[in-house]
Structure 1
Amino acid sequence: MTVKHLLVEYNKVNEQGTFSPGDILSGKVTVMTSKETKVQCFLVKAKGKAKVTWCDQEGEATVVHSDKKIYFYFEYIILQDKNRGNGSEIIRPGRNVYPFTFVIPNIDMPSSYRGKWGNIAYSLQAKLTQSLWLVHKTKTEFPFLTKAEFPFASKSEMIITGLKEQQCATRISFYGTGKITLNVTSEKMGVKQGEAIAVSVEVLNNSAGTVTPKFYLCEKQTFVAKSKGIVHTNDILFATGDSVPAETSQTITKVLSIPLQLPPTFFNCSLMKLEYRLKVILDVNPAKDLEIKLPLVVLWGSPKPRQQHQRRSICFKNLPG
């Protein structure tokens, strides 16, 4: 093995290390050889690709659903055997460095993402071919960030205007002769990665039992392959509120922090999409739980410092009999 080391690296264009449509992607390929080495082809390629794959059991057969979409594909040939087979191109012994430059297409493409049954990846790969049986490869992925300000909505949708508006929902359920009313309010629908959001829960418990609110972040991943679809959901417990005894009412406010590394909401990929909801559940034993879901859009970016508001008091009172 005359090729001892093969490495592909890229140059960052900003402090975050992310790339976007229209950026210049440059770097170098480094190859270490122990002696003079003949090659048939030596190239570096850049690719942006979305791919989904999952399996379904249909009777005794396993059916594989798979699809992919190529956003761009470029090759830069460093060395190539002009005679196609006699290994006339030479790499001298020692450390050899070869620069390259690509221009990322200035088109709408989704951000990098890795989900349950699919991923959106942007990568560089160097490939050195000495013969049909002797091929060296190395690969690295680079983080890509879409330029779309709102990758979760089409231009015709008015969801954008509601990102800063308060979201509210109410649900009433009857348990025997008792009634439970659940009111949930979130201060807004759009929240940045790492940002905090206040959620208030008003519980009017006119039943005979104690109820306890629980706060969840609901993640929904949807994957599509040739008209077939599959959904993966995941609920993350944020917090548990104080119990509300029978025949009382109580208002509870929780400040919930969105995880900093949580992938942003997106719809701008034909093979997959990512959505979120805020969910509040009342444990009502032994009856079915009472729940409310509110829309939540996770935006890319650094959170702004949270303003200090006056703490909301907790209202705790007996219901009129």
Structure 2
Amino acid sequence: MPTITSFTISYYALNKDRTFSEGDILTGLLTLNLEKEIGIRSLFVKVKGDADVYWTERSSTITSYSTHRRLFKMKQCLIPEETQGTVLPPGSHVFKFSFKMPERGMPSSFKRNHGKVVYKLEAKLSRGWMMDRMVEKEITFVSKAIPNIHRLMLSHISSTDKHLGIFSKGSVHMDVIVERRAYAPGETMKIVAKIDNSSAKEMTPKFSLIQDVVYRANKHAKNESDIVYKKHGDCIDPKTQMEITCAIKIPPDQMTTIQNCDIISVQYHVKVCLDVSFSFNPEIQFPVVIIPFDLSPDHSPRGDSDPALASGAQYNVDSPPLVAHSGIFGYPTAQGFAAPPPGCPGNPTLLGMSGIYPTQASNMTQDYNSHQSFNTFRTVPVNRPVPSASVRTTDSVSQSDEAPPSYSALFPSCDTNF
């Protein structure tokens, strides 16, 4: 029978989608179940974010490119090493921790074949000469740091004129109008194209929403483009004027735009073109931004979050609901509530050792519909007083000396094209 029967970490959800954003409070529990008494040198939990890029190119030789960015790291000691060892008796021991996510802009969670942006909780139990025990859980981060978002909510119009050249007589003029350039997953973008075909050729309008992903490493870049949506309109006869409306629905699981990471970017653009045989096709392209749902002007409360969370109601400690899974990286809707659950202090509490577990909110469920009950916490005798858990919340602890990119450099305010 092993001495440690389970060592788990879990966190409290702020919304149904279990996502976090800048400035949110991340609170959770670290649970240690023991079959026998053990001595512990230290116990800590940390939250961190990392971005990685990696790909291989084959020509006459095989060349690999990779780079890493530490976005931030914060650590809390639940049993500091300064105690020179602590003895825990058999039973269940539950430790609480709490972090405030950095308020500066960080990229949303992302995973693809050649790169990823990952946020995770990680706990480590050290027992001296025994092998360390570690546990980790990924969390989903959705960035709300969208610069100049008010400009993206304005209507946009682009135009093009084109002479069709040697194999055709005449010209074509096209205006493309959209009500705004920022949309949330699940919303519908309405595009109006006004076409004046003054040529002798017939033509077919085509509408596309395209995702562009760029990975950067060692002064090299790798580009990927995927068509999210594509549709053809009706054929436009020669010497004809026509207005065509196309509705593009953003997929509900579409990942948001990433522009605040220097090694990975995810951007979108709309392309409207006129397919003309034996001629260069007239086209218009303009960028669009996929934003979290609650930043959209069409956002309204969806009723999918626990009403008790919004009202700040108090709950029984014997059923502190936990999130057992951190979700998939598909960019679900960002939370509407950024405040910490009631009764969650900024510093962690060592349950059964340094105090009594504070009252918590009952919205903290595994799936927002069911509750998971825990045994009553017992006072844990130790062979020496355990000091209060120390907190180290230094932001942007990097593994290298390279400073994080300047936000103003990534998003210059004087940009008039986007």
Question: TM-score scaled to structure 2, two decimals?
Answer: 0.61
* Alignment CA distance shift 1:177-1:26 (3 Å): closer
The secondary structure found in structure 2 opposite 1:193 is coil
- Find the counterpart in structure 2 of residue 6 from structure 1: 7
Alpha-carbon spacing, 1:55–1:78, altered in 2? closer, same or farther (3 Å):
farther
1:297 and 2:289 matched: yes
Q: 1:224 aligns with which of 212, 216, 229?
A: 216
1:79 and 1:4 map into 2 onto residues whose CA distance is 22
Secondary structure, in 3 states, of the residue corresponding to 1:109? coil
Residues 23/210 of structure 1: CA separation in 2 closer, same or farther (3 Å cut): same
| Residue of structure 1 equivalent to 2:100 | 103
- Tell me the equivalent position of 1:269: 261
Q: Percent identity?
A: 27
Measure, in 2, the Cα distance between the counterparts of 1:94 and 1:51.
40
RMSD: 3.2
| Structure 2 match to 1:235 | 227
Matched residue SS, 1:32? strand
Q: Does 1:117 align with 2:108?
A: no
**SS in structure 1 at match of 2:141:** coil
- The reply on whether 1:190 has 2:182 as its aligned counterpart is yes
Shift of the alpha carbon at 1:261? 2.9
Alignment partner of 1:141 is 2:153: no
- Once the two structures are TM-superposed, the CA of residue 132 in structure 1 deviates from its matched residue by 6.8
Matched, 1:215 2:207: yes
How is 1:2-41 mapped onto 2 (pairs within 5 angstroms)?
Answer: 2-14=3-15, 17-41=18-42
Partner AA of 2:135 in structure 1:
T
Structure 2 stretches lacking a partner, 5+ long: 300-418
Counterpart residue identity of residue 99, structure 1: K
Q: Which has the higher strand share?
A: 1
Q: How does 1:148-163 map to 2 (within 5 A)?
A: 148=145, 150-151=146-147, 160-161=150-151, 163=153
Aligned residue pair count: 295
Q: Distance in 2 between matches of 1:5 and 1:179?
A: 76
* Equivalent position of 2:237 in the other structure: 245
CA spacing shift, 1:19–1:75, aligned 2, 3 Å: same
Q: Which amino acid aligns with 1:103?
A: K
Q: Which of residues 259, 267, 274 is equivalent to 1:282?
A: 274
Report deviation, 1:42. 3.3
Scaled by the length of structure 1, the TM-score of the pair is: 0.76
Of the candidates 165, 176, 195, which is equivalent to residue 155 of structure 2?
Answer: 165
Note the C-alpha offset of 1:234: 1.5
> Does the CA contact (< 8 Å) of 2:65 and 2:217 recur in 1?
no
- Structure 2 distance, partners of 1:58, 1:124, is 40
Between 275-284 and 240-249, report the one with greater CA deviation.
240-249
1:29 shift after superposition: 1.0
Counterpart of 2:164 (choices 170, 174, 182) is 174
Work out the CA distance in 1 between the residues paired with 2:275 and 2:38: 70
The aligned counterpart of 1:255 is 247
Matched, 1:203 2:200: no
C-alpha contact 1:80 1:89 (8 A) present in aligned 2: no
Alpha-carbon distance in structure 1 between the residues aligned to 2:239 and 2:180: 31
Greater relative contact order (Cα < 8 A, sep 6+): 2
SS at match of 1:239: strand
User: In the superposition, relative to structure 1, how do residues 37 and 182 fare at CA in structure 2: closer, same or farther (>3 Å)?
Assistant: farther
1:279 CA drift (Å) = 0.8
Q: 1:295 to 1:18 in 2, by over 3 A?
A: same
- Equivalent residue letter for 1:111: S
Residue 317 of structure 1: aligned partner: none
Shift of 1:129: 4.3
Structure 1 pair 74–227 and aligned structure 2 pair: CA distance change class (3 A): farther
The one-letter amino acid paired with 1:74 is K
Give 1:27 deviation, angstroms.
0.9
Q: For residues 166 and 22 of structure 1, what CA distance do their matches in structure 2 show?
A: 32
Residues 112 and 209 of structure 1: CA distance in aligned 2, closer, same or farther (over 3 Å): same
